[in-house]
Chains A and B, each alone.
Chain A
Amino acid sequence: MIKINNLHANIEGKEILKGLTLEVKPGEIHAIMGPNGAGKSTLASILAGREEYEVTEGSVDFDGLDLLEMDTEDRARAGLFLAFQYPVEIPGVSNINFLRTAMNEIREHKGMDPISAKEFMAMVKEKSALVELDPKLASRSVNEGFSGGEKKRNEIFQMAMLEPKLAILDETDSGLDIDALRIVANGVNTLKSDKNATIVITHYKRLLDYIIPDFVHVLYDGRIVKSGTKELAIELEEKGYDWIKAELV
């Protein structure tokens, strides 16, 4: 699905990623954990195509495509989805209209006809129920006046609508109470199939109690320094990130 090889990246001259390598296969859920400043969100940003980062070395192969050469929208159309850590409020742009535009651009990319209004509305109803998002919110302006939890659920709602191959959840658990966390996780688990994959970026193990990862990686100082199964998350929770730091010295 995605092969990240020896990725180095800077922002404003400061090196954040220092040779990150990771492979995710279809059907897998990978968790990336790490202390603040390790480069977790940078990785998500680079994969989504934020232009303020400069990739200096390495490559990313996304289903045979050279991801780093693609525009943000082309990455999305090819099936990459980023659930934002801080979803943006866009006054005046209706959640539904924007999503329909997005969906049709993706369908056009795949050579499919635009979705019919009826089919689309049925899908909105089904997918908003999945994340327990009030259908009224679905028709409001994008994220405007949404609570923190509603914004995160809206991210997963969009993910459910767009059916990406690879979803990257960037600190989706931050700011969520336990109920919202359960709802978000339930959404992600329901959408899981053997054809798609998920990268869960998180600081805490908490989310991983609900979304069970196949692999856990520790990102530290711009590289993956340790990989394991879900037990690694438990160990991290117990010993803290200092344990990793100590081990590296």
Chain B
Amino acid sequence: MEATLMTTNSTDFTKNWSPTALSFPKKLIEQATEFIETTHFPTTRDEHWKYTRLAKLSKQQFLQSKVAATAEFDSISNSNNRLVFVNGLFNAGLSNLTQSNGLTLTALSENSAVLNQTNVDVIDLFSAMNICFAKDGIHVHVAKNQTIETPIEIVFVQTGEQTAAVIHNQITIDEGAKASVILNFQSKNAKNTFTNVISNVSVGKNAHFTLYKMQTENETATFIGTENVTQERDSYFHIHTSTLNGLLVRNNLNIKVIGENADTHLNGMYLGHGSMHVDNHTVVDHTVANCESNELYKGVMADKSTGVFNGKVFVRKDAQKINAFQSNGNVLLSDDATINSKPELEIYADDVKCSHGSTTGQLDEEAVFYLRARGISEKAARQLMVSAFIGDVINKIDNTEVSDYLTSKLETMFGWDF
């Protein structure tokens, strides 16, 4: 057992934390507890963490808040439906809730009986931690055939030092319903924070759901977030994941398509800078026939940043007539930046159309010269090129409040103009 000498006991990491206040099934909690007690922190020898080092993280300890603090925050939308969580705890005073027909929007702690039906699994250490220690999260339920026009925005703000936010969200969109949710992760006056979030999303028959995930927690933040999505037949699901900042960010996206004629869109952008590490792991699992998925992830990596894209598409046996397209593009702006891109297709059906592509390169210097030869400064030329590259993904965003927020962030953070 040489390996154990080099790894960290997971129980040390969570020893200051108190058990979850949410009503997960008892058996699930037992299973998760056992997992933590018997599993060490993942190392780069684990296939899933090959390019993401957790050694530094594993040696730290973070504290969970007992009461919801107050904090400043930025909101993306003008939504009347806005919930605010500070360090993972619901702050009712900062939240703004309007009753809409067919919409249940509460802190999960107020309604955690819904977790009796949860299909969340202990799949790794972080999901186990989440089940054992989640303090709160959102519960969104849109009833059958209801359309919620205004986007629902959930702000998760980290504030203070060495804080841990362990968040569990349950989002259920019933048959024929339509809604969109913004998960807005950010930090204010924060240092060395840790966020562990799982969002469990169920998109019902013929339902239409869009999820925007925005990560702008600061350059000292560690963020590990997972969305588990199931899609029933004739449904539409679109997720847009934007990672603009952080020390270590891991986005796990697991989409399981269980009904025919479903339409899936997963898009993401990540902007590495400083010594940031950003890792996107996506899985689209086509278990049934006649579905389509489109995936576009783009990254711009500057300075000494490192990145990972791992996109897996499964097409199961008998899942015929699947169209699955995946594309990952990266631009490296510095010689010290790196990206590991690994597209994977596993196809067990024979009548499918699948493609994947991955490109990594520098900016086209010939194009930079061309722009300069027209009088544009070198800096502006490079920004123009980068904006154009990433603009492709931004254009996939239907919600103009989200895209405006994103572009204004890009302008203030990087000086990129669109």
**Is B371 an interface residue when CB atoms closer than 8 A count as contact?**
yes
Q: Report the minimum CB–CB distance from A100 to chain B (whole Å).
A: 10
What mask results when residues 366 to 384 of chain B are scored 1 for a CB within 8 Å of chain A, else 0? 1101111111111011001
Docked complex Cα distance between A72 and B378 (Å): 9
Contact B374 A88 (CB under 8 A): no
Stretch binding the partner chain, chosen from B32-40, B130-138, B343-351, B387-395: B387-395
Chain B binding surface, main DSSP class: helix
Residue from A88, A105, A142 having most chain B Cβ neighbours under 10 A: A88
Contact B388 A76 (CB under 8 A): no
Docked complex Cα distance between A176 and B389 (Å): 31
Contact A72 B367 (CB under 8 A): no
What mask results when residues 69 to 93 of chain A are scored 1 for a CB within 8 Å of chain B, else 0? 0011101110001101001111111
Q: Report the minimum CB–CB distance from B112 to chain A (whole Å).
A: 46
Residue from B370, B371, B388, B389 having most chain A Cβ neighbours under 10 A: B370
Contact A88 B377 (CB under 8 A): no
**Is A39 an interface residue when CB atoms closer than 8 A count as contact?**
no
Contact B374 A92 (CB under 8 A): no
B375 surroundings in chain A (CB, below 8 A)? 73, 76-77, 102-103, 105-106, 109, 162
**Is A99 an interface residue when CB atoms closer than 8 A count as contact?**
yes
**Is B385 an interface residue when CB atoms closer than 8 A count as contact?**
yes
Contact A105 B377 (CB under 8 A): yes
Contact B364 A76 (CB under 8 A): no
A72 surroundings in chain B (CB, below 8 A)? 369, 372-373
Contact A98 B374 (CB under 8 A): yes
**Is A50 an interface residue when CB atoms closer than 8 A count as contact?**
yes
Q: Report the minimum CB–CB distance from B33 to chain A (whole Å).
A: 50
Picked from B364, B376, B384, B387, the residue with its CB within 8 Å of the CB of A88 is B364
Picked from A76, A92, A99, A158, the residue with its CB within 8 Å of the CB of B389 is A92
What mask results when residues 89 to 130 of chain A are scored 1 for a CB within 8 Å of chain B, else 0? 111110000110111011001000000000000000000000
Docked complex Cα distance between A105 and B366 (Å): 20
Contact A84 B370 (CB under 8 A): yes
**Is A17 an interface residue when CB atoms closer than 8 A count as contact?**
no
Docked complex Cα distance between A48 and B367 (Å): 14
Q: Report the minimum CB–CB distance from B300 to chain A (whole Å).
A: 13
A102 surroundings in chain B (CB, below 8 A)? 371, 374-376
Q: Report the minimum CB–CB distance from B171 to chain A (whole Å).
A: 33
Docked complex Cα distance between A99 and B374 (Å): 8
Contact B385 A93 (CB under 8 A): yes
Docked complex Cα distance between A88 and B392 (Å): 19
Interface size, B (range): 20 to 34
Residue of A nearest to B370 (CB): A88
Q: Report the minimum CB–CB distance from B288 to chain A (whole Å).
A: 36
Contact B388 A88 (CB under 8 A): no
B374 surroundings in chain A (CB, below 8 A)? 76, 98-99, 102, 158, 162
Docked complex Cα distance between A76 and B364 (Å): 20
Docked complex Cα distance between A98 and B385 (Å): 10
What mask results when residues 172 to 190 of chain A are scored 1 for a CB within 8 Å of chain B, else 0? 0000000000000000000
A98 surroundings in chain B (CB, below 8 A)? 371, 374, 376, 384
Q: Report the minimum CB–CB distance from B389 to chain A (whole Å).
A: 6
Once A72-B369, A84-B370, A101-B384 are accepted as A-B contacts, the answer to whether A90 and B376 lie under 8 Å apart by CB is no
B364 surroundings in chain A (CB, below 8 A)? 88, 90
Contact B367 A88 (CB under 8 A): yes
Contact B372 A90 (CB under 8 A): no
Residue of A nearest to B392 (CB): A92
Contact B385 A71 (CB under 8 A): no
Contact A73 B377 (CB under 8 A): yes
Docked complex Cα distance between A73 and B378 (Å): 8
Q: Report the minimum CB–CB distance from A114 to chain B (whole Å).
A: 13
What mask results when residues 34 to 49 of chain A are scored 1 for a CB within 8 Å of chain B, else 0? 0000000000000011
Q: Report the minimum CB–CB distance from B339 to chain A (whole Å).
A: 19
Docked complex Cα distance between A76 and B370 (Å): 11
B371 surroundings in chain A (CB, below 8 A)? 90, 93, 98, 102
Once A72-B369, A88-B366 are accepted as A-B contacts, the answer to whether A93 and B388 lie under 8 Å apart by CB is yes
Picked from B366, B376, B378, B385, the residue with its CB within 8 Å of the CB of A101 is B376
Docked complex Cα distance between A77 and B377 (Å): 10
A105 surroundings in chain B (CB, below 8 A)? 375-377, 380
Once A98-B376, A105-B376 are accepted as A-B contacts, the answer to whether A92 and B369 lie under 8 Å apart by CB is no
Q: Report the minimum CB–CB distance from A103 to chain B (whole Å).
A: 8
B391 surroundings in chain A (CB, below 8 A)? 92
Contact B378 A91 (CB under 8 A): no
Contact B369 A50 (CB under 8 A): yes
A48 surroundings in chain B (CB, below 8 A)? 373
Residue of A nearest to B417 (CB): A101
Residue of A nearest to B366 (CB): A88
Docked complex Cα distance between A83 and B385 (Å): 20
Contact B376 A73 (CB under 8 A): yes
Docked complex Cα distance between A102 and B371 (Å): 8
A103 surroundings in chain B (CB, below 8 A)? 375
B370 surroundings in chain A (CB, below 8 A)? 84, 87-88, 90, 142
Q: Report the minimum CB–CB distance from B396 to chain A (whole Å).
A: 13
Residue from B370, B375, B380, B385 having most chain A Cβ neighbours under 10 A: B375
Docked complex Cα distance between A92 and B416 (Å): 14
Residue of A nearest to B389 (CB): A92
B392 surroundings in chain A (CB, below 8 A)? 92
B385 surroundings in chain A (CB, below 8 A)? 90, 92-93
Contact B376 A91 (CB under 8 A): no
Q: Report the minimum CB–CB distance from B2 to chain A (whole Å).
A: 50
Interface residues, chain B, with chain A CB atoms under 8 Å away:
364, 366-367, 369-378, 380-381, 384-385, 387-389, 391-392
Top 7 nearest A-B pairs by Cβ distance? A92-B388, A76-B375, A102-B374, A72-B372, A88-B370, A73-B372, A93-B388
Q: A49-B373, A91-B388, A102-B376 are in contact. List 6 more A-B contacts (CB 8 A).
A: A73-B377, A73-B381, A88-B370, A90-B388, A98-B384, A141-B388
